[in-house]
Amino acid sequence: MTGSALFPSSEQRLAWTNRLTEMLSAAELRMAQGSVTPTFDRDAFAAELAGFDFDQPVAFEQLLEWTLAQMDHGVVHMTHPRYLGLFNPAPSFPAQCADRIAASFNPQLATATTSPAAVAIEAHVAGLLARRIGLAADAVGHFTSGGSEANNTALICALTRSEPDFAASGSRAFAGQPVFYISADSHLAWIKFAHMAGIGRSAVRLVATDGAGRMSADVLERAIAADRGQGCVPVMIVATAGTTSAGMIDPLAACGAIARRCGVWYHVDAAWGGALAASSRLRGKLAGIEAADSVTIDAHKWFATTMGCGMFLTAHPRALLAAFNVTTSYMPTASAIDPYMTTAQWSRRFVGLRLFLSLAAAGWAGHGAHVERAVELGHRLAERMREQGWTVANGAELAVVCLRPPAGSVTVREIVGRVVGSGGAWISAARFEGGDVIRACVTHGETSTHDIDAVATLLERARMG
């Protein structure tokens, strides 16, 4: 059997698989030694892309070479050791292997009938992580496309639990405007979720911070009382464990206590900071998370899986069934353990294998060491910049360092533009407590002290003009 372009023979597949592995290994070496930022000719690329009209097939090796060339030059290299940007770390090798396995078998995880092993593996990992952060023994969870889906799930659960008729009647079921509370420094995707849930963007209450980037518990409690006095219906408090701009952790225990007193759903968005649970030394920073009704964790952040691997964990299994239960005649079963019955997704990829292989290969201790090392490198960068007269605005307790240059320097955004433009590192500008800061976050498991020192040198050069 000779095979075809879409379904080559076994021999052809093996040859192409080996060839692709070689090409990717070479690309990784080029990337680590090259520019972090794209070196991209948009006009030339557009012309080449237009040439793919699909009227005639193209030789497969030519296609692979062309695609890798575009990745070489057409993306910010988040797998570069001097990428100190957003929470998009280089993926672990076990996670990369998991993607290959999942792609080859391509299981459909909508039901446990069609993919019993895959569904059980994901549920096992979610359950262990839920217990690791302190949720009840019967806590459950599932994998999502990312933190946005997981956080949206929390809102739907909160609305449904607050007013059971929400499932049938939507926001009309509430006696007043349903509202929920997030830190002013939280991820503003929550505004989208309010819109999508049909309660309106005005339902989002942005709670002021305490002057150090953490949600003010006092302001939160007063806001809830004021809303109730005006006839609104508070349904959820969201605390953040690892804010995007500065890596700050809201007062988790205090927020949980307020949620219990007020009888509202308590969600912790630990998309990034949740990985602290892997570290025996640092997990205490998440004290109070165990009181959450639900938690978001992105495995593709500090757990270093490949992209698109979020998690939703909850202490209330029945809440998921109440929010997402549906029956059909064409699905193999209607069991409560079937993911299509308890999640927003229907067709689902086997993304949980990424975290399973990573945790099984390294254990909690291995992941904990990964997290601790990133924090130590963040401290190193903070100390290097303090020695040069810079100010560390956020304290840099975790792996995010927010910097302000000494007086007389060019602006923050000019410094960022110069560093990024050099191709030697990738950092970003952010807002923290009313002012611009330079945000640097250690995300790569192979970033070295030499890389950190090189970034410190780039920053100092850039700020002097």
**pLDDT higher than threshold 70 for residue 308:** yes
User: How far, in Å, CA of 275 to CA of 187, rounded?
Assistant: 18
Please give the average per-residue pLDDT across 197-225, as a whole number: 96
What would the mean pLDDT of 112-141 be, rounded to a whole number? 95
Angle 189-197/147-162 helices, nearest 10 degrees?
Answer: 50
Which tokens in the block code for residue 326? 């549906």
Predicted confidence at residue 439, as pLDDT, reads 97
Give the domain ranges of the chain. Answer: 100-358
pLDDT at residue 397, rounded to an integer: 80
User: What pLDDT score does 32 carry?
Assistant: 87
Is pLDDT at 329 greater than 80 in this prediction?
Answer: no
Res. 216: pLDDT tops 80: yes
Average pLDDT, rounded, for the chain: 94
Question: What integer pLDDT is reported at residue 335 of this predicted model?
Answer: 64
Do residues 297 and 240 lie in contact, with contact meaning Cβ atoms separated by under 8 Å?
Answer: no
Q: Exposed/middle/buried for 18, CB within 10 Å: 0-12, 13-18, 19+?
A: exposed
pLDDT of residue 333: 67
Domain 100-358 sits in CATH at 3.40.640.10
- As a whole number of angstroms, the distance between CA 223 and CA 181 comes to 9
**Confidence (pLDDT) at 334:** 57
Q: Are 251 and 337 in contact (CB under 8 A)?
A: no
What is the model's pLDDT at position 336? Answer: 64
